[in-house]
Chain A
């Protein structure tokens, strides 16, 4: 089955037909930065953190089907610089104040910032005025940190069958909305057990009353950097089957 290979930064990566460059890389234990990718969902290709150069042209590794003989550049100074700029743009577009965020240490945006040594947001801060929705009894919705990865939207629609979330607006006005007449999460059938409550890579969807149950310093990305968690992102049989 595994007969074909392609090449990432000089390393031969085997793949099965239908696998994306990202899936094959993760299966082989090679980390490619990502935020909107999740092993249980179809690729989205929106965050562009997984951008690589394939035969000299940039592409999103999560949406690009692997093909035999590809020459992929990932950990090059040029690509890493582009990924840093993307992270910096995400950081200034929202309100990302890690010292007061309960997701700190469990946040993929933060962990990627550490991984890529992003010391500064570099650009001018937007400081947008975004609401916090505390109407749900079990879940806090803090839109200040939303990066529009659509994982909660995908999870609620595809797994939970509830369609609780959606995006509204275009361009810089695009934002996450809640599917209720009032726009409040408390007026939906959203539940803590929903898949959509488990997939937020940043600190938007937060279960209430457990904020600091695990202390800072003992959290998911404290012991080892994001790239060392590559096994958690390996594709599942189900996610591979979803690709055509």
Chain B
């Protein structure tokens, strides 16, 4: 492999726009989202509920339901634009080269079908193998994600598993075809902390071993800090800040990112009330013109009512803000 192809990202999303055309108006759930993720890398896609993270994930897999539609931008998977593929071409990619893990493990497995049925059908949807071979592969993958006695467990129904085990099954299903890209939509949110830590460690190991690129959608910055290489922060359908994890978390440039980091409970400020971002996420149906965050932002000025460009303000640091929080500037202001 040449240096050039090694450097080419597995997935590159450019100016993606996914809108929902409802009777009450157009909901711009995803409005100008760009990011890329390379082989073996993990991108943390962070934001509050309703910021468009999940819709971004569904857009990549071509699973946006009516009345939603991708109206602009491109989703380049190895250079091939997924937004322009036919439904059948997308079907062949889904679960095969691009897989998804969902948020709630109690809901993602079909309650009336056995685990083996649900795994074997996934294998057979993409490769012509006998049922027996498919079963072998299902069993091996279950073992790989840490499910004890996979042979017996294959014959179980979802309700016979705990939440953590079900999520492992879902992850195993996602891994059946060794995908090049996994979109994980808050996969550990519904699990308790110890299980969360186990699953994070295993996922990280699998990604590193297989070179799978991963988009980890979450609202939990502590998960991103430990897992991701890059981070993209979303607010009201737009990416507001993007960069490598360590610099973004150490020195956030967008006031929203700073607010998110400030509101993470920490151990060394005992006794103080937790900080929070004032106000609420705006109604995506009636976004204020200009920066959607300005109504909650302490740094907002008149200029923020204009359309904010997304651009590099420092090497490797892209921000959508007229007033990025450079430490120097913060010093000046004080």
A and B bound? Answer: no
Chain B positions within 8 Å of A, measured between CB atoms, are: none
Chain A positions within 8 Å of B, measured between CB atoms, are: none
